[in-house]
Amino acid sequence: MNAIKLDHPLVLHKLSILRDKNTGTKEFRELISELSTILCYEALKDASLEDIEIETPMCKTKGKKLNDDNYAFVPILRAGTGMLDGLIKVMPNAKIGHIGLYRNEETLKPVEYYYKMPKDIDKREVIVLDPMLATGGSGVDAITRLKESGAKKIKFLCIIAAPEGIEKINEVHPDVTIYCAAIDEKLNEIGYIVPGLGDAGDRIFGTK
């Protein structure tokens, strides 16, 4: 599988609290943001750096700089926006795109209702955000639309992934690496991840 799962005690700890049905909206949002930050660090391990010269209080020296202008974060609405704060803390000048997809509850297929990207998306590395990778339908469609807009290097960040979703993205977009905090057991009969954490959007926004 073209998927990287984080294996760190802090991640496991935060995931356990995140999954708990008794965790409130405020704490749930904070945990999503914190886990997203950790995922962002992992996803940027191969980031290109530029040589720069800086001056410390002691002397001049060489340093490295990451160019924020080379990146774009694209949350899949609405739940993906819950991950944005965590990534913006790492890279505050990255451009933000949005893609709106919802899942047809009968067919489980994604339906697009909004798409807005930076004009130079074809020149940026794009990181797609969605807390839950379930059937993979929304992820595949989002990546397909981005490629139609010219995006060439794309990564997918999620908190929890189902094997079915990973397999779907790997099948249609084998060039896209998935970064996640957990790979769960399966999807249930209505397309939810098990054991999962319920509906991430509802829990982020307190709508259920």
The residue with tokens 């084998």 is: 174
Catalytic residue of the set 37, 103, 122, 145: 103
User: Can you tell me the distance from the alpha carbon of 171 to that of 168, in angstroms, rounded to the nearest whole number?
Assistant: 5
DSSP 105-174: TTT--EEEEEEE--TTGGGSEEEEE-SEESSSHHHHHHHHHHHHTT--EEEEE-SEE-HHHHHHHHHH-T
Which residue type occupies 29?
R
Which is catalytic among the residues 107, 120, 122, 145?
107
Task: Check 20, 25, 202, 207 and give the catalytic one.
Answer: 202
141 classed as catalytic: no
The answer to whether 199 is a known catalytic residue is yes
Is 144 an annotated catalytic residue?
no
Q: Cα(first)–Cα(last) distance of the chain, in Å?
A: 34
Q: 69, 85, 122, 199: which is the annotated catalytic residue?
A: 199
User: Catalytic annotation on 51?
Assistant: no
| Catalytic sites, residue numbers | 103, 107, 199, 202
